Amino acid sequence: MMQLDFVPGTLCDERMWGRLLPLLGDGFAFNHIPLHKARSREQMQELIGAHAAPKANLVSFSLGAYLAVEFALAHPERVNSLVIIASSAKGLQEKEKATRLRIIPQLEKNHYTGMTQMRLREILAPEHMDDPAIVDVIQTMAVELGKDVLLTQFRTTIERPDLMSRTGELHCPMMVVASANDKLVAVTDVSEIKQHYPAAQLHILSEGAGHMIPLEAPQALANHLLAFYN
């Protein structure tokens, strides 16, 4: 049975994949990298190395996807296949970097009660703003993982070198899934992967999702994953 190693995004854990996994059937074993336990960028990489299979099939989202590319470049012998969701190897857009730099001092001095409506509007498609099956999962993860995890992940990963040109060094099968309506990750940035790694599969979801693809478009993502692994 093929094992899939899931690498979550900022302020996410295995609950991020809760709507997706039942749609993948019983042909896989699921393993989750506990990224929230890391207190440094180095520890994030160590957690991927320690928890992923020796020849890992990495399924990675957002921050986790950037870290997975970093891991694959550093340890190509450890990665059997790589799926990148809602992420660009180019790193954070300047606008998102500025948002995080603005949020950090506010977080440091205030009590954290979860995602603001403004932040939810940035990460979700408008039609999902009032969907409890999506919003409640995001807010529960945010509150339970908490302020310290968010601050650690913001501080240690805000600087992300542009790895796009280096993706051509990879030789494992790769699939990239992005959303045309993602406000955090530009489709033009994501699409650049084909210039450096022509063999990569690229799927752009034209509707039904913002940034949080595994929660917002689980069926579309499941279809692409099943086709990729088959």
Q: Tell me the residue ranges of DSSP E strands in the chain.
A: 2-7, 28-32, 56-61, 79-85, 174-179, 201-205
> Which positions ≥6 away from 148 have C-beta within 8 Å?
none
CA dist 112 and 118 (Å) reads: 15
Domain 2-93+155-229 has CATH 3.10.450.50: no
Map out the domains of the chain as residue ranges: 2-93+155-229
> Which positions ≥6 away from 223 have C-beta within 8 Å?
none
Residue ranges of alpha helices (H) inside the chain are 41-51, 63-74, 94-109, 117-123, 132-157, 187-191, 193-196, 213-216, 218-229
Mean pLDDT across the chain: 95
Kindly tell me if the per-residue pLDDT of 217 is higher than 80.
Answer: yes
Q: What is the identity of the amino acid at 215?
A: L
The strand pair at 28-32 and 56-61 is best described as unpaired
Q: What is the structure's pLDDT at 97?
A: 85
Q: What is the structure's pLDDT at 5?
A: 99
Kindly tell me if the per-residue pLDDT of 154 is higher than 90.
Answer: no
What percent of the chain lies above the pLDDT cut of 90? Answer: 83
Give the pLDDT band of residue 180 (cuts 50, 70, 90).
very high
Residue with more model confidence, 200 or 97: 200
C-beta neighbour count of 205 within 10 angstroms: 22
Q: What is the structure's pLDDT at 24?
A: 98
C-beta neighbour count of 46 within 10 angstroms: 13
Kindly tell me if the per-residue pLDDT of 219 is higher than 90.
Answer: yes
Q: What is the structure's pLDDT at 201?
A: 98
CA dist 41 and 151 (Å) reads: 12
User: pLDDT tens across 158-172, in order?
Assistant: 888 899 999 999 999
User: pLDDT tens across 36-60, in order?
Assistant: 999 999 999 999 999 999 999 999 9
User: pLDDT tens across 71-130, in order?
Assistant: 999 999 999 999 999 999 887 778 888 888 888 888 888 888 999 999 999 999 999 999
Give me 191's structure tokens.
Answer: 């699409």
C-beta neighbour count of 79 within 10 angstroms: 26
